[in-house]
Structure 1
Amino acid sequence: MTYISKAPLALSLSTLALASCANAEAGDSAAAASAEVELNIEPMGEFDRPWAIEFIPGSDTLAITEKAGTLKLMKTGTGEVTTVSGVPEVDYGGQGGFGDVAFLPSEANREDGRTIYLSWAEAGENDTRGAAVGRGTLVCNEDTDACAINDLKVIWRQGPKVTGKGHYSHRITFSPDEKYMFIASGDRQKLEPAQDRTNTLGSIVRLFPDGTIPTDNPMADEIEPNDEIWSYGHRNILGMDWDAQGRLWDMEHGPAGGDELNLVEAGANYGWPTRSYGKHYNGDPIPDHSADDGFNKPAIHWTPVIAPGDMIFYTGDMFGAWKGDALIAGLSSQAIVRVSIDGEKATETGRYAFDGRLRSIDEAPDGSIWVAEDGPEGRILKVSAQ
């Protein structure tokens, strides 16, 4: 095991919540600036390309996936870090490698090991690859502080495996009642498959937590893999979470412009690549959404992009004014972007600047916010109120 040195208040920033002019919908005015918020930002350690962070329910232990294929656990109270054995072999390169980590909140008081879910890029034949999700049991030995994943089994595979190393998405979330597991399946930079329901690229799939398929999915009467699909027409989803009303939202990268926050509905088509508020990287235009195009429209979109890395809905009390808002970890924007929800509408209400790209975000039991920086020496940062 190792210990992370925590220099107290090694980094303290006062940041302004900046007004956003990024919402590109015609006729929308710039989002109102929120009042100045002073944040205390404390580095908690450095990791090698951290991709996902997740607090283990009922504890102050933070699980951290490192993109090259390592899972680490950090006791945030002491800084002690343990490397977990029994992780899968990942196909590391490009945007691929280790992905998400998730737990069941209902197991917060479990003492004899708890269920752990992981996603990763998995190699296939003929230089192909795709996302996979596995389920196992995380067991830690109190005497040795050693932790291992036992009986890890793949319960879902993105299909088909294709060439390239981008847009896996592979975020995992559970419905508030834990009855269903939702997995983001990116378009793998192949565009048209997102509109083709004979595959799961560019989709959100809904499964039971054991990986079996519910018979009431929107396309359950069609042949697999259609029966897995909950929604489709997505590009590259890097954040999913549930609002206070129990509604699922996703945060996805647009192409050159057009990052989207979407309210996810059963059977809905979100238009990619037929419609987008961005354009192709080579400059080729993509038609914007129109009222009669038959696709679900984003609740808010951004041009210039914020390049989302992850998102959560904030539920704590430390930042009381933020309760119920979406907090988005921004990569190129190097900020936490705060979005307020009103029914099915969304408005950017704050942007809090950092000095690095933010890959992942989570809320601690005490209501503080934790973010992971992108890159080979990515810091884990604790964000609390001054």
Structure 2
Amino acid sequence: MRTAAILTLIPTLACAQVEQGPANTDFTPATESQTRAQALPETSVTVETFADGLANPWGIAALPDGSFLVTERPGTLRRVAADGTLSDPISGVPEVDAEEQGGLLDVAIAPDFASSGVIYLTYAKGVEGGTVTAAARAVLDGNSLTDVQDIFVQDPPSEIYMHYGSRVVPTDDGMVYVTTGEHFTEANRQLAQDVETTYGKVIRLNADGTVPQDNPFVGQDGVDSIWSYGHRNVQGAAIGPDGALWTLEHGPAGGDELNRPQAGLNYGWPVISYGENYDGSPVGSGESAMEGMEQPVYYWDPVIAPGGIAFYDGDYADWQGDLLIAGLNPGSLTRLRLDGDTVTGEERLLQDVGRIRDVEVLDDGDLMILIDADPGQILRVTPGA
């Protein structure tokens, strides 16, 4: 279902910084490289429509046979064939709570999928008292899911259908990370600092949903499954070339954060932030740094409203190891050049295709980009074309 190329960018020399408009706040970054990095030379890309007619696609995962699994937020999981053809809805998907930001959210395949058929889903789950972020493990058998079981259910329930977080990242060493949000309200956001709840956390589990005994709060005061805390709404997560988990979370007005979460550490929300509340009032302490709270690797002000992230390991040499970030507002694909845990350059691409919810890097070096709309699309992007 490809159509002709709809966008080509011509390479230019790097300028001082990416054009992004005035900041909401006047905080001084902790380091020179923490925000507004030098602009990278623009990349020439070709964009094609790969599939369309999807309802608010949220997560995508490539399968070994060249097809893809794609979630639709209203509650449908589909297989998209290598030619862009959409399957009928896959059966056996858990019932979702598809109000406001809730619904069927992320999808990922297990590292041993070729032999096990195991996939992971995250979704908004309706429970007594409200709604929660949940993660499920299942086996994909043709166009059906079997052996479906929740491996994580957020607690306590919320009456607010926002800020679910909800990325799921299985790893080669048998771990599964799940990200959560803090359900938006002033009262709920305080729970991001409470390690006896799973609001605003990164969760770390064994592949079967049991808790690794080396998690930081095992045997301590706190939920055993918590890996890190003090997060707002983590909607991007991926394993980097360094083998570590990297996350990207929504700030309020300003203050979207790229982090490399470490075991047991506090990432500050809602006490510190490089943003401000939507009404212009200070967040928490009104400060951007505080002893005992971690600084982000990088932040944006104004925001990019991040979706999914992926590290580039395809055939286009100029992007090797770079971090690719789906952006919802104003809508773009952001590319970051990293030197260890320092951002050395930034590029904005695809600024006129809509709300980009997720990005997947293919073996041939192309990208699959989800456009979050109804109807939504999958775009195939070829760098260096």
TM-score for both structures, normalised by structure 2: 0.90
Q: Which amino acid aligns with 2:73?
A: K
The structure-2 alpha-carbon separation of the partners of 1:304 and 1:348, relative to structure 1 and needing over 3 Å to count, comes to farther
Q: 1:42 aligns with which of 48, 58, 61?
A: 48
Equivalent in the alignment of 1:204: 202
Q: Percent identity?
A: 37
For 1:180, give the aligned amino acid: M
Is 1:181 aligned to residue 199 of structure 2? Answer: no
Q: Does 1:237 align with 2:234?
A: yes
What is the alpha-carbon distance in structure 2 between the residues aligned to residue 100 and residue 36 of structure 1?
30
* Equivalent residues, number: 366
Q: In the superposition, relative to structure 1, how do residues 107 and 124 fare at CA in structure 2: closer, same or farther (>3 Å)?
A: closer
Map of 1:13 onto structure 2? 8
Structure 2, unmatched stretches of 5+, are none
Opposite residue 116 of structure 1, the aligned amino acid is I
Question: d(CA) in 2 for partners of 1:273 and 1:93?
Answer: 25
Q: Residues 159 and 200 of structure 1 are in contact (CA less than 8 Å); yes or no, is this contact kept in structure 2?
A: yes
Q: Deviations over 1:179-215 (max 9, x none)?
A: 2111001111121000011101110011101000111
Provide the secondary structure at the position in 1 that maps to 2:258. Answer: strand
Distance in 1 (CA, whole Å) between partners of 2:28 and 2:174 is 36
Q: Counterparts of 2:344 and 2:40 in 1: how far apart (Å)? A: 11
Deviation at 1:106, TM superposition (A): 2.5
SS in 1 for 2:99: coil
- Cα separation, partners in 2 of 1:345 and 1:139, compared to 1, 3 Å: same
Kindly indicate which of the two structures has a greater share of residues assigned to strand: 1
Which of 104, 116, 121 is equivalent to 2:124? Answer: 121
CA contact (8 A) 2:40 2:345 kept: no
SS at match of 1:193: helix
Give the alignment partner of residue 338 of structure 2, picking from 341, 355, 358.
Answer: 341
Q: Secondary structure at the residue paired with 1:282?
A: coil
Letter in 2 for 1:48: A
Secondary structure of 2:224's counterpart equals helix
Superposition misfits of 4+ residues, deviation over 6 angstroms: none
**Which one of the candidate residues 317, 320, 333 is aligned to 2:317?**
320
Cα shift at 1:78: 5.5
Distance change >3 Å, CA 67–CA 253, structure 1 → 2: same
Counting only pairs closer than 5 Å after superposition, residues 231-380 of structure 1 correspond to structure 2 as 231-286=228-283, 287-290=286-289, 292-317=290-315, 319-355=316-352, 356-380=354-378
Contact 2:325 2:334 in 1 (8 A): yes
* Shift, 1:59, TM fit: 2.5
**Mean Cα deviation higher: 278-287 or 186-195:** 278-287
Is the 8 Å Cα contact of residues 119 and 140 (structure 2) preserved in structure 1?
Answer: yes
| 1:14 Cα deviation from its structure 2 partner | 2.1
8 Å Cα contact 2:37/2:343 also seen in 1: no
Equivalent residues in 2 for 1:37-186 (5 A)? 37-46=43-52, 47-56=54-63, 58-77=64-83, 79-108=85-114, 110=115, 114-126=117-129, 128-140=130-142, 147-175=143-171, 177-186=172-181
- The one-letter amino acid paired with 1:245 is D
Q: 1:16 to 1:124 in 2, by over 3 A?
A: farther
TM-score by length of 1: 0.90
Q: Is the 8 A contact 2:370 2:379 kept in 1?
A: yes
Stretches of structure 1 lacking an aligned partner (at least 5 in a row): 141-146
Q: Alpha carbons of 1:320 and 1:180: their partners in 2 closer, same or farther (altered >3 Å)?
A: same
Q: Structure 1 counterpart of 2:302, which letter? A: P
1:21 CA displacement: 5.7
Q: Deviations over 1:81-132 (max 9, x none)?
A: 3421111110001110001111112333x3xx60111111011224x10011
Alignment check: 8 A CA contact 1:237 1:250 kept:
yes
Cα distance per residue 1:269-312 (max 9 Å; x no partner): 0000000000111221122323x522110011000101101111
The residue identity in structure 2 corresponding to 1:84 is: I
Structure-2 separation of matches of 1:340 and 1:12 = 23
For the residues of structure 2 that align with 1:218 and 1:306, how far apart are their CA atoms? Answer: 31
Deviations, residues 16-50 of structure 1 (Å, cap 9, x unaligned): 68842669753737422222321110001221100
Aligned equivalents of 1:345 and 1:238: distance in 2? 21
2-structure distance, mates of 1:71, 1:161? 25
Quick check: 335-344 or 206-215, which moved more? Answer: 335-344
2:167 aligns to what SS in structure 1? strand
Shift of 1:65: 0.2
Mapped partners of 1:246, 1:184: distance in 2: 18
Aligned residues: CA RMSD: 1.9
CA distance in 2, matches of 1:158, 1:239: 18
Equivalent residues of 2:42, 2:347 under 8 A apart:
no
